[in-house]
Structure formats: structure tokens, C-alpha cells
Homo-oligomer: A and B are copies of this chain.
Amino acid sequence: MNSEFVDRLVMEQDTKIIFLLMDGLGGLPKPETGETELEAAHTPNLDALARGSLCGLLDPIGYGITPGSGPAHFALFGYDPEKNNVGRGLLAAAGIDFPMGEDDLFARVNFATINDHGMVTDRRAGRIDSDTNRRLCEKLHREINLSRNVDVFFETVKEHRALLTLRGKGLSDAIADTDPEATGKPPLPPQQLAGEAQETVRIIAELLDQAGRVLADEQQANTILLRGFARYRKYPSLRDRFKIDPLAIANYPMYRGIARLLGMEVHPLTDSIAAEFDALRDCFDSHTFFFLHVKPTDSRGEDGDFEAKVRVIEEVDSLLPRLTSLKPDVLVVTGDHSTPAIMASHSWHPVPVILASATARPDRVETFGERACIAGGMGRLPMKYLMGLALAHAGRLTKFGA
């Protein structure tokens, strides 16, 4: 069964589904205690939710596969992550809500510093501030003038990061990064990864040449490095696939971008985890599907800060009653992947999940944790099937066959 199997069975309903997503939730035991971040955290509300609910373990992509955030979130929303792997440039464009068009080719831009010998001395141009970034983007946009019929846009993201958009017919994204990923080396010339990209390579070479001249008199940001070339791609929306009215509450550009790519309404930025929970409560009547994204679990895992990750989980636990009191028909609590603090990186380990619903068949799981969820009634399953399960428990899937 592929994860699109459910699409034909979807029915319109008024029931409400919440996905509470703690990014990088899954962990590994700290050797001193033998407990993971989630096991070590004091989580009375999550434990109570796990009791009487359906628990399990989700594989974001497959056995042994460490996912990036893009494919993991596609799986979370019921999109096959193998078939829907999304380019970083496109995520960046969606993340800043760039008004995308069919003929767009995106790339992530790093302003960088090169010395007189053309060697990169700082891949982030001293992390110039966003105002300087804006000034440089305007300058590049004003002064670059390509010989081909291609429009060029530069949009500030933050600090040294920007978005490049080339708009024109027949552009290819089979282009290697020009970022040498190390200092002391020159930027790489644009190179094609597949045969059809020759013309695009010429355009980018001309653009880089002009950009170098435009930025020549800058102290820090005297060149640009390009990464993650990706063409515009349209995905079937959550609304079209599942007849839900989705709202995303997320504070990081990448997740806001994924939500937009999948046709979700994206709530304005909030300033804390608690504010995200309150935003959900305030919008509960106006939507039927809620994606609440908590980033710091992943960030603290990436930092390698076990205790700080534990504290984020405990904060989420303390806020959980704000969701359960809304009495959603389905409340899912999970992560998009594991980010064990002891590895300080994403990992391939499966992610624990709770699915709470009046129609969930309870299992014997008494606490919310990686080990406890092994014994869950959901078993261990590919993450891409979670959305179908949520829809079913919300009474949104009709019978298959007579």
C-alpha cells in the first residue's frame, strides 16, 4: 500500500485533528543514566495521554535512513518521502513566502568573503546583518543584467543568507553547488549534474561574473556562493488530498515553507512555545487540521545539550492541557525524526508516537518513551502512513470495497 491509497477514501467531516510535532524528539540514552531525553523528562501529561491511547514507533523514511527535515515532514503529512524529495532552494523560497512561479529556479545564497587571490576566507561574510544583506540584494538586483531573457531576484533571508530566483523558460536545477564548503579554496564554477543543464550553467556563470563585479568594492560580502538549486514544483495540497482545512503554527522558515508548499495556511510568527499553543487555541474553530511545530527539541539535540532538550520536552508537557482541553477528535504527538543529544545530529532511530482519540484502541503503554512505545499497538511503521491513521480515527475515511 502506498500512502496515497487513502486519498480515494477521504470524506468531508467537521472533526478536528492536531499534530503536535516536537522536532527531533527521538533520542538515545545518556550513558550515565541509561535513559533517553524523553524517558528522563518528567512528563505527567504525556504519560497520561499515552495511557488509554495508541502508541508506536515511526520510521520517517526507512530502516537506517537519517532524514533531513524536508523529507521527514513530507512523510509526516502522508507524502511518500522518496518520491517527494524537495530541493533546499524551493524550501528556502517557500520559507520566506516568495511569490513563486512555474518558471522559477531557486538557489540559496551565502554572502561570503574572498581574498585577492580569489580564495574564500569567510563563507558567511562575517555574518553581516540583515540590513546590509538587504542593501546588497537591492544592489545586485539593480545592477545585474543578463544577456539571456531571464529575470533575476535576490531576497534577503537573514544575516548572510539570501534567496536567488531565476525566472525564465527551460531552466534546469541539475546544477552543483558553487560553495566549496571550506575556506582557503576558490568558489566552484557552476557545473551541470545532467545533460540538459548546459544553458543554465552559462546563465549562472554570467550571473556570478556580474555579481563579483557588483560586490567588488564591499569589505566583507564581496562574493556569493550558491547552494541547493531547485526548480519550482507544485505538490497536491493537504486540502485537495484530505479535505481538511489546515493551519500551520511554526516559527522556523523551513517548516513554514513546507506548510506553504502543501497549501496550509501559516499562522503569523509567535514568540514562544506557549504562544504557539495559545495561537492554536485561538484558531481552533476556524480550521480542522492543526500542525503545531516545536523546534527547540531538535535545536537542543543538535547542540548536544541533553538536559536542555529534556527541559523543552517538559515545557511542552506542561502546555499539553491547553490542547487536550480543546477536545480534538484526534491528537497526535510525535517527532519528525530523532536528534539524540549524545549524537548532536539527526539520526535514523524511529520516533515514538501517541495517537489519542475516542476510537483509538488502547494498548498497554503506560508512559511516553522510546522503549515503552516498542510495545505499542501501532507497532513500528513508516511515518507516511500516520496521516491515514489520523484521518481514519477522525472518521474521515470511508470503507474500501463493498
Q: Quick one: given A62-B1, A401-B71, are A370 and B374 in contact (CB under 8 Å)?
A: no
Are B67 and A400 neighbours in the complex by a CB distance under 8 Å? yes
Of the candidates B72, B379, B382, the one whose C-beta lies within 8 Å of that of A380 is B379
Report if A371-B362 is in contact (Cβ < 8 Å); known contacts: A62-B388, A66-B392: yes
A77 to chain B, nearest CB (A): 14
Q: How far is the CA of A359 from the CA of B86 in the complex (A)?
A: 28
Q: Is the CB of B86 within 8 A of A348?
A: no
Which residues 1-49 of A sit at the B interface, judged by CB distance below 8 A?
1, 5-6, 9, 28-29, 34, 36
Secondary structure class of chain A's binding surface, majority of residues = loop
- A87 lies within 8 A of chain B by Cβ: yes
If A82-B1, A362-B29, A399-B346 touch, whether A389 touches B64 (CB-CB below 8 Å) is: yes
A134 interface residue per 8 A CB criterion: no
- Bound Cα distance from A154 to B364, whole angstroms: 53
Q: Are B65 and A5 in contact (CB under 8 A)?
A: yes
**Considering the chains assembled together, what is the distance between the CA atoms of A302 and B308 in angstroms?**
51
Number of identical monomers bound together in the oligomeric complex: 2
Q: In the bound complex, do residue B64 and residue A401 qualify as a contact, i.e. CB atoms below 8 Å apart? A: no
- Smallest CB gap from A62: residue in B: B1
Q: Which residue of B lies closest to A28 (CB)?
A: B361
Q: How large is the interface on A (under 10, 10 to 19, 20 to 34, 35 or more residues)?
A: 35 or more
Whether, in the assembled complex, A200 has its beta carbon less than 8 Å from a beta carbon of chain B, the answer is no
Beta-carbon nearest neighbor of A227 in chain B:
B402
Enumerate chain B residues within 8 angstroms of A85, measured Cβ to Cβ: 400-401
Q: What sequence of 0s and 1s flags, for each residue 268-287 of chain A, a beta carbon within 8 Å of any chain B beta carbon?
A: 00000000000000000000
- Known contacts A64-B389, A377-B371, A385-B64; is A69 also within 8 Å of B1 by CB? no
Known: A63-B381, A347-B359, A348-B397. A402 touches B5 (CB 8 A): no
B residues less than 8 Å from A29 (CB atoms): 361-362
Residue-wise interface mask of A (69-105) relative to B, using a CB-CB cutoff of 8 A (1 in contact, 0 not): 1111000000001100111100100000000000000
- Return the chain B residue nearest A376 by Cβ: B374
Known: A371-B377, A375-B375, A385-B62. A401 touches B67 (CB 8 A): yes
Distance A166 CA – B57 CA, assembled complex (angstroms) = 51
In the A-B complex, the 6 residue pairs with the closest CB atoms: A64-B392, A1-B62, A71-B401, A64-B388, A68-B401, A63-B385
